[in-house]
Structure 1
Amino acid sequence: MKNSTPDRPIALIVGASRGLGVAVATEYLRLGYEVYGTVRSDAHTPLHDLREAGSDGLHIERVDVTSTGEIAALHDRLAAHLRGRAIDVLFVVAGVSLAPQDARAIDMSDADIVTTMLTNAIAPLRVIEGLDDLVGPDATIAVMSSGQGSIGRNETGGFEVYRASKAALNQLMRSYAARRGTDRPLLLMAPGWVQTDMGGNGAPLTVSESIPALVATVEHQRGIPGLRYVDRHGEPIPW
């Protein structure tokens, strides 16, 4: 791992290997951040391609967010490397969707349901809690949610377990905010339906139409305490 750069703000992007995550990492590098991006395994990813292309200030760490042991190990590696410097932006992007749009929850396997719920709802809270002492007191914490996590806007159905996992994430973040009473900005971000491996080629938005606006919204919310559930333009989404 390269030495850190003391005069640059730090962004930790959890789940940055490809898709939305590597796009978020790219945008923070463009904004002048020192970026720590995580991948799930040792396999080569688009995030590695970004580093090999000469991106200055990009560090790659490995963590499986469903493993509390790996989260703890990531904490220790980051603490040793940062040497007292605080993370300015923690953005948890990691997520999965393991069934097609028309799949019914009752037809999914127990294993796929558990993996979806653990990855999308529980793991982000474990990451936030597990890395808490490395994050600055006025830092921004963002988690990639989805408009499909809105209970109030669900009038069409579809993606049943994925929707439920994002609604659970939103509820857990509300509980976290109430329990901690934090002054940090806490953001649940909905990027829109985006053309990625998970979103599919038929999605209406490209990554370049979603992520720069989304990161700009996160940056605009810095210093504003409290939990918000918003789209990529900063517009509130009904819970």
Structure 2
Amino acid sequence: MTHTRKTALIVGASRTLGLALAAEYLRRGWDVIGTVRGNRRTGLHDLADASEGRLTIESLEMTAPEQISALRDRLATRTLDLLFVNAAITRGDLPIGEVPTEMFTEVMVVNALSPMRVVETLRPLVAPAGTIGVMSSDQGSITLNTEGGQDLYRASKSALNQLMRSFAARTAEDTRTLLLLDPGWVRTDLGGPDAELSVEESVPGVAETIESHRGKPGLHFVDYRGQVVPW
């Protein structure tokens, strides 16, 4: 009897959380496809070199719809057990009235529109009992915003959450699991040096939360500890 390993596609896997998530799924015995922007060498390439062929790398600029479609075509013969989109930017902590239009557009396109384009385009590759996950943040929670700050980043994550909710409603009969994942406040370029968690503390919990929701269709907004995050 042939054993078939599960396959995860991690979009945005070149460094920090995405890279660690790719490594975590390799440790769990999965095959992993990770995307990087352009053709530059990254830590993901080093991980691939040591993976005995279980990690393959694809180039993807997520903000280019034609590249998302091309990736779908290249992976047309693969079946994904997990599609996970890990990509976000911030451009500093400005009050919303001081945010230039170009900055607003850039952050919204990267953090909200582009992940949803990936989800919409690559969904057919995901097995009927598979999982589609997107990295969100508790900063996207309207309920938890009691202190303000990071106006644009918060708004972009709230927009992402709303778009995923709309997607879930539109595909309500789908048997796939949909996840919005809050990794916690992690020490990355995005989270900053004062964040509470290391990447090594966050990512195993993210993976475990993904696994614990396997086979539970519908949309779940949860954190790396598996706890529900309020909308």
Shift of 1:109: 2.1
Identify the match of residue 43 of structure 1 among 40, 45, 49.
40
Give the 3 Å change call, closer, same or farther, for CA 66–219 of structure 1 in structure 2.
Answer: same
Once residues 188 and 137 of structure 1 are traced to their aligned partners in structure 2, the CA distance between those partners, rounded to angstroms, is 18
In the alignment, structure 2 segments of 5+ residues that lack a partner are none
Once residues 52 and 19 of structure 2 are traced to their aligned partners in structure 1, the CA distance between those partners, rounded to angstroms, is 12
Query: Aligned residue for 2:224?
Result: 232
Query: Aligned residue for 2:75?
Result: 78
Query: Aligned residue for 1:26?
Result: 23
The reply on whether 1:93 has 2:92 as its aligned counterpart is no
Once residues 6 and 20 of structure 1 are traced to their aligned partners in structure 2, the CA distance between those partners, rounded to angstroms, is 29
**Match for 2:62: what amino acid?**
V
Query: Aligned residue for 1:202?
Result: 194
The reply on whether 1:105 has 2:96 as its aligned counterpart is yes
Identify the match of residue 216 of structure 1 among 189, 208, 212.
208
**Match for 1:74: what amino acid?**
L
Once residues 232 and 141 of structure 1 are traced to their aligned partners in structure 2, the CA distance between those partners, rounded to angstroms, is 16
Once residues 122 and 20 of structure 2 are traced to their aligned partners in structure 1, the CA distance between those partners, rounded to angstroms, is 22
The percent of aligned pairs where both chains have the same amino acid is 51
**Match for 1:238: what amino acid?**
P
TM-score (norm 1): 0.92
Identify the match of residue 66 of structure 1 among 51, 57, 63.
63
Query: Aligned residue for 1:17?
Result: 14
Shift of 1:56: 4.1
Once residues 54 and 231 of structure 1 are traced to their aligned partners in structure 2, the CA distance between those partners, rounded to angstroms, is 28
Once residues 174 and 195 of structure 1 are traced to their aligned partners in structure 2, the CA distance between those partners, rounded to angstroms, is 28
Query: Aligned residue for 1:148?
Result: 139
In the alignment, structure 1 segments of 5+ residues that lack a partner are none
Aligned residues between the structures: 229
| Cα-to-partner distance string for 1:128-164 (whole Å, 9 max, x where unaligned) | 1111221111111110000000000000111110000
The reply on whether 1:183 has 2:175 as its aligned counterpart is yes
| Cα-to-partner distance string for 1:102-121 (whole Å, 9 max, x where unaligned) | x2122222222111101111
Identify the match of residue 184 of structure 2 among 186, 189, 192.
192
| Cα-to-partner distance string for 1:54-104 (whole Å, 9 max, x where unaligned) | 45400000111111011011111111xxx2x410000001111121x3x21
Task: Tell me how large the CA RMSD over aligned residues is.
Answer: 1.4
Query: Aligned residue for 2:120?
Result: 129
Shift of 1:44: 1.4
Shift of 1:53: 3.5
- Aligned to 1:25, the other structure's residue is in SS state helix
Asked if 2 retains the 8 angstrom alpha-carbon contact of 1:29 and 1:55, the reply is: no
- Aligned to 1:131, the other structure's residue is in SS state helix
Once residues 53 and 14 of structure 1 are traced to their aligned partners in structure 2, the CA distance between those partners, rounded to angstroms, is 20
- Aligned to 2:181, the other structure's residue is in SS state strand
- Aligned to 1:48, the other structure's residue is in SS state helix
Identify the match of residue 7 of structure 1 among 4, 9, 13.
4
Asked if 2 retains the 8 angstrom alpha-carbon contact of 1:142 and 1:187, the reply is: yes
